[in-house]
Amino acid sequence: GQNIDQPTEMTATEGAIVQINCTYQTSGFNGLFWYQQHAGEAPTFLSYNVLDGLEEKGRFSSFLSRSKGYSYLLLKELQMKDSASYLCARMDSNYQLIWGAGTKLIIKP
Amino acid sequence: IAGITQAPTSQILAAGRRMTLRCTQDMRHNAMYWYRQDLGLGLRLIHYSNTAGTTGKGEVPDGYSVSRANTDDFPLTLASAVPSQTSVYFCASSDSPSLHTGELFFGEGSRLTVL
C-alpha cells in the first residue's frame, strides 16, 4: 500500500501474545484502522485510533503514536481462530483509507 | 440479514466482455465504496460515493465505472474486461464519508477471473 508498512507474515503460539506493527506516512493523517480478514472472507473492523495511546477491547488492543507514524495491534491469549490476515489502514485528509498489504498471522498449537 | 450483498460471488469472463458487479446495502448508509484486493497488495479504492447521486474516483479507476442512483445500490461496471482486472472485488459502506464511527462494512466479495 501507499506508505503503509507492516510485516508480511508472523507466527505465534496458541495462548501467547503477539504484536503486529504498522508504520505509515504521517502527512494528512485522520485516523488509523485495524481490520481482520480470514482467508476467503471479507475484512471485519477491529479498531480505530485517532488519538495517541492504547485502546483496549477484550483480547485485542491497538496503540497509536501520531508523531512517530506508528501503530501496533496487540493480541493476547491467542486462539486458533485468530489465524487470519490483519490489515492496517490510515485515513488520509480526504477521508479515504490507504491500506497496507496485511500481515498474515499463523497460530500454532 | 442486514448488511451488504454482492453478486455474483464468482465469475469467469472472456476478455473484451462487459460485466457489472452488483452491490446492495440495507443499512441506509450514505457512503459506498468499491475496492479490489490482489495478492501482496493492500485493498485499493476503485470508485466511491459519498451520497446518492454523487460518485468519485479512487486510486485505480481506469476501466471501471459506477453509478449511485439511490442510497442502496452501487453497481460497478467493467466496460471491456482485461486480464489485469482479474481480482477479488469488495463493496463496502459506511454511515458517513468521514468514518466518524470508525467502521467500514464489507460485502463478501466477488471473485472475477478475466481470461
Residue B100: pLDDT band with limits 50, 70, 90: low
Q: Residue B102's pLDDT is what?
A: 65
B98 vs A95: CB contact, 8 Å cut-off?
yes
Does any CB of chain B come closer than 8 Å to the CB of residue A43?
yes
HSE, CB side, 13 Å, CA atoms: give it for residue B31. 21
pLDDT tens profile B10-50: 999 999 999 999 999 999 999 999 999 999 898 999 999 99
Q: Any idea which residue has 466511491 for its cell?
A: B48
- Residue-level pLDDT at A27: 84
Nearest CB partner across the interface for B42, out of A42, A47, A101: A101
Chain A contact for B38 (CB, 8 A cutoff): no
Q: What is the mean pLDDT of residues B61-66?
A: 98
- Which residues of chain A have a pLDDT value below 50? 1
A33 to B102: CB separation less than 8 angstroms, yes or no: yes
Residue A94 CA from chain centroid, whole number = 21
pLDDT exceeds cutoff 80 at B68? yes
CA triple A53-A57-A62, angle to 5 deg: 35
Residue B97's pLDDT band (cuts 50, 70, 90): confident
Contact B55, B77 (CB under 8 A): no
